Structure 1
Amino acid sequence: MSVSVAVTGATGQMGRAVLDAADSREDVEAAFAVNRGAPDDLEAREEIAGVPVEPAREFDRLLADHNPDALVDFTGPASSQNYVAVATEAGVASVVGTTGFDDESEQALRELAEYAPVLKASNFGRGVQALLSAVESAVADLPGYDVEVTETHHNRKRDAPSGTAKTILETIENAREDASADSGQRVHGREGEAPREQGEIGVHARRAGTITGEHEILLAGNHEEVRLTHRAEDRGVFAEGALDAAVWLADREPGWYDFEQVVAGEQVAEGGGQ
């Protein structure tokens, strides 16, 4: 039996990728798709993978009419929060790939997870989960080594550093004895006289062309260096992961989930709002 998904931000790069991926799978079907700029004229509406893109203001009605199993959202922080709030009220699970949330807006999502399952991830690539595991191990095994994180994305990406880079940084900070979660330990680029301080983590964001996404972690010390890299060559990787998450999440109890649990096949969620 297939899982039906509602797709927001349908004409964006990730929205299109999600609809294309859903069209090629037997375990998922697109219930409906919306986009903020979709026209009222039915004949003028774009179709993606056979799914008409409807105006975002119709989201509430469409949700009630189609009763999907899950929402898949790649939009912006403000619109994402609104979509998830409406989906939660309807008892629909939400898979959120939107990045750029501040602490307050992410906390609002966590509070919504008390009423319906919410899974938020900065990256839906299974390879990224393997990268995070390798980073954690390498940082713990190489105490005192200098660490630099570099991420590269297409020239239209809005937030910097990327959500994935922030997750990598959190993993590094948690694994190091000589660094804390204090954002002051992170140095974003360098200019002028900028000697490296003990324990700092260099962070560099590059934006160019149509690059899908690349993250590199450099650890250097003791006359040696280790480089860990993940490179995504197609957005379909993230779309497939988001749909895997939707299938996994659809029948879960309310709570706050992450993609690591999907990859690991875990059965227990962190309590909503925690």
Structure 2
Amino acid sequence: MKFEYALMGARGRMGQAIVKNQEAFGAECVSELGRNISEVKELSKDCKILIDFSLPEATPSVLAFCREHSLKLVSGVTGYSNSQIEDLKKYSEENAVFWSPNMSLGVAIFKHMLKSLNAAKDWDYHLHEAHHIHKLDRPSGTAKYLQKATEDVVGKEVPVTDMRGGGVFGVHELYAMSPEEEIQITHRAYNREVFAKGALKAALWMQAKDKGFYSMDDMF
């Protein structure tokens, strides 16, 4: 039996990629939402989750819609403010919320690899990211996510640089440098499918959750 979901940002590139890949995960989009979200009053009784790939500005409308229809939320939105993240966490006390600025397994593995840098806290670090010309937030949400994760391990500020150009889906490179040697960790996304599949996998995983605030760290 397919699980039903509503999709915010359905007409965007990520929304289209999610719908394209839904069948492989036994999922069906029953409501495509956009700026009209506040006007949608009816929803299939079997729809229990909303996948959101819109913009941070839509957060109040998205959370209001989730409350009205008692929906779990899977968000891949980047660029949230601290107060918006707190709003998500507050809603997670009522219903389950999954948020990750990057839905790929590769980035989750990247983050876990950072733990080994505890042995090289005195090295120099630099994070660089590149995305397509249409990417609005810079540095990217993923870059900020990896920056904080690295800083938590090495105990000092890690600078970030960014580049926008062409059709690059997403590249994140961390340089760890000592006077004698260098380590480079790179994640490169080849297409949007990896993020769409990650979001659908998260939505499927969330079916068994009730309340709580979750991320990729919890799923893998």
The interval holding the TM-score normalised by the smaller chain is over 0.9
- 2-side partners of 1:109 and 1:176: how far apart? 28
How far, CA to CA, are the matches of 2:203 and 2:63 in structure 1?
14
Q: Does 1:168 align with 2:125?
A: no
* 1:244 partnered with 2:201: yes
Question: In the alignment, what sits opposite 2:4?
Answer: 4
Deviations 1:35-65 (A, max 9, x none): 33xxxxxxxxxxxxxxxxxx43433x243x4
Match of 2:109 in 1: 130
Give every structure 1 segment of 4 or more consecutive aligned residues whose post-TM-superposition deviation is greater than 6 Å.
none
Cα distance in 2, alignment partners of residues 241 and 258 from structure 1: 11
Q: Which residue identity lines up with residue 34 of structure 1 in the other structure?
A: L
State how far apart, in whole Å, the 1-side matches of 2:79 and 2:180 are.
37
| Counterparts of 2:51 and 2:175, CA distance in 1 | 33
Residue 47 of structure 2 aligns with an amino acid whose one-letter code is: P
Task: Give me the whole-angstrom Cα distance separating, in 2, the residues matched to 1:26 and 1:132.
Answer: 25
- Show CA shifts across 1:165-223 (max 9, x none): 1111111111114x2xxxxx3xxxxxxxxxxxxxxx22101111111111000001032
Q: State the distance in 2 between where 1:165 and 1:124 align.
A: 13
Greater radius of gyration (CA): 1
TM-score of the two chains, using structure 1 as the length reference: 0.76
The answer on 1:203 being equivalent to 2:160 is yes
How far did 1:66 drift? 5.0
Q: 1:154 aligns with which of 93, 107, 132?
A: 132
Shift of 1:32: 1.6
Aligned equivalent of 1:145, options 123, 138, 160: 123
The sequence identity of aligned pairs, in percent, is 30
Distance 1:66 1:207 in 2: 42
For the 8 Å contact 2:25–2:204, the answer to whether it is kept is no
Kept in 1: contact 2:131–2:171 (CA 8 A): yes
**Which residue in the other structure is 2:14 paired with?**
14
CA contact (8 A) 2:4 2:47 kept: yes
Looking at structure 1, the residues matched to 159 and 211 of structure 2 have their Cα atoms a distance apart, in angstroms, of 37
In the alignment, structure 2 segments of 5+ residues that lack a partner are none
Where in structure 1 are there 5+ consecutive unaligned residues?
Answer: 37-54, 180-184, 186-200, 264-274
Partner Cα separation in structure 2 for residue 26 and residue 216 of structure 1: 30
Higher share of residues assigned helix: 2
C-alpha deviation, 1:156, in angstroms: 1.1
Aligned-residue RMSD, C-alpha = 1.5
The alignment status of 1:76 with 2:61, answered yes or no, reads no
The residue aligned with 1:99 is 78
Q: How many pairs align?
A: 220
In 2, the alpha carbon distance for the partners of 1:176 and 1:89 equals: 43
- Matches of 2:64 and 2:212, distance apart in 1: 14
Whether the 8 Å contact between 1:80 and 1:98 is mirrored in structure 2 is no
Residue 87 (structure 1) shift: 1.0
1:232 aligns with 2:210: no
> AA paired with 2:118?
A
Letter in 1 for 2:27: V
TM-score of the superposed pair, with normalisation by structure 2: 0.94
Q: What is the alpha-carbon distance in structure 1 between the residues aligned to residue 71 and residue 37 of structure 2?
A: 17
Shift in Å, 1:259? 1.6
